[in-house]
Amino acid sequence: MIQTLDQIFVLLKHWLLNFLPAAWQPAVGVVLSVVCIIGVFPALFAFTTVLERKGIGRIQNRLGPNRVGPFGILQPIADGIKSLTKEDIVPLKADAAVHFLAPIVLVVAVFMGFAVLPMGRNMVLVDMDAGLLFYFAMGASTEVSVFMAGWSSRNKYSLLGAMRAVAQMISYEVALLLSSVVVVMMSGSLSLVKIVAAQNQYSWGLPHWYIFTPWGFAGALMFGIAATAETNRSPFDLPEGESELVAGYFTEYSGFKFALFFLGEYVAMFSIAGLGATLFLGGWSAPLAALQFIPSWMWFFGKLMVAMCVFIWMRGTLPRLRQDQLMNFAWKFVLPMCLLNLFVAGLWRFMGDGLLRWVICSAILILAYVGMGWGEMKRKHLGPRTYRYAE
């Protein structure tokens, strides 16, 4: 029974395929999986928009959407109908072809990333030998679409937003890649299926997730920071800072093309949260050996939703950074920490088992973190905050 529930989607797919002649089965099987991915994530996106608007509303001491359906949960349907029926306005001077292609390139590149994410036991579309590399290659292609959108609109706000977005994405992509390299060093594979398999072991009922090691914890933190910046989420949402740039690179998009950008942004968040869960949180494996009876895909999507809630929480809590703060943070803090983490991971690998490596590796990382923070505070003459008028 547990087995059946765990493999229910795989079994369902095989059952459906059995109705077809054998020659068609591989091709139709791939199409079925792709249709599932393209169906499930927009549905999750619709749910997350309500969750986000409700959650941010609560954080900001208001109700959030509450008119459409009970508690406003039908809001995404209303939004969808609105964006489908809205007039699609293209500026007169815009470069029509590039303007049209930009949202399509974005959505296609974003959805491609899901091809290599294992969403449950035996639930991966393509188990590539170089899966992680494929994922990052697709992530890099989204930058082109952002540039296309900003440039083709013939609008200064759009262009500025695109330049900011691309500069930010390039800077944080370095950190994203370097923070993932530690996982590859430890598991010895670029295949995401093998990375999950390496973490899906238990000792004393506790899992071997990479986040429960010093280098894994530091790597997960750096990965989280870089992922937030890569998806242009608050506090790194300068490319669409509404007080400065209207809406950034998609200022001149309306109707369904705007909806595509919106979708692309959220699906990119799902995808990068899924990658983070796969790399550091054991993918579809259960957090305790005793909880393995719950199907693996539930754990994957559960971790995904927890990550989304953290994204929403951060958006409601943190103020937006300034451009120079953003760049300094990327190149002077995140990047050195990632490089140090590579060194620590190597040390961990060659020190052998025992308590000593825990102490030394943690000490190096904590000292570096505290030292860098302290040095930066000294350099900027930052200290305890003093209030001139409100004492």
Partner 1 sequence: MGIAFYLVSVLTVAGGLAAVLLKNTVHCALAVTTAFAGLALLFLQLDAQFAGFAQILVYIGAVAILVVFAILLTRGSETPKGGVFSKTWLAGLAVAAAIFAVLGWAVLQVAGSLPQQNAAPAVTVNQIGEALMGRYVLPLEIIALLLTAALIGAVIVAMHEKEGD
* Secondary structure of residue 391 in the 3-state scheme: coil
* Separation between Cα atoms, residue 109 and residue 43, nearest integer Å: 19
Q: Quote the tokens at residue 349.
A: 């690998």
Residue type at 307 in one-letter notation: A
Nearer to partner 1, 134 or 236 (CB): 134
Nearer to partner 1, 151 or 311 (CB): 151
Separation of alpha carbons 47 and 286, rounded Å = 24
For partner 1, the closer CB: 168 or 199: 168
Q: How far is the CB of 215 from partner 1 (least distance, A)?
A: 19
Evaluate whether 187 touches 233 at the Cβ level (below 8 Å). Answer: no
Using CB under 8 A as the criterion, which residues of the chain lie in contact with partner 1 when the complex forms?
Answer: 95, 98, 128-130, 133-134, 136-141, 143-144, 147-148, 151, 159, 163, 166, 170, 173, 188-190
Whole-number minimum distance, CB 239 to partner 1, in Å? 14
Spatial CA neighbour of 147 closest among 136, 160, 129, 137: 160
Nearer CB in complex with partner 1: 146/269: 146
- Given a contact cutoff of 8 angstroms between Cβ atoms, the answer to whether 239 and 161 are in contact is yes
- Report which of 149, 134, 132 is spatially closest to residue 275, judged by C-alpha positions: 132
C-alpha span between 281 and 37 (Å, rounded): 21
Tokens of 304: 């995904």
Residue appearing with tokens 């238990």: 202
Of the pair 135, 253, the CB lying nearest partner 1 is at 135
CB nearer to partner 1: pick between 188 and 375: 188
Q: Quick one: tokens of 2?
A: 């547990």
**CB 31 → partner 1: shortest distance, Å?**
17
DSSP symbol at 319: P
Nearest to 164 by CA among 103, 92, 247, 108: 247
In angstroms, what is the minimal distance from the CB of 130 to partner 1? 5
CB of 357 to partner 1, least distance (A): 23
> From the CB of 284, what's the least distance to partner 1, in Å?
23
Closest distance to partner 1 from the beta carbon of 287 (Å) = 30
For partner 1, the closer CB: 2 or 130: 130
CB of 138 vs partner 1, minimal distance in Å = 8
User: Which token pair is 366?
Assistant: 């904590």
Nearer to partner 1, 120 or 131 (CB): 131
- Please choose, from the candidates 236, 283, 31, 233, the residue with its C-alpha nearest in 3D space to the C-alpha of residue 132: 283
Residue matched to tokens 């974005």? 106
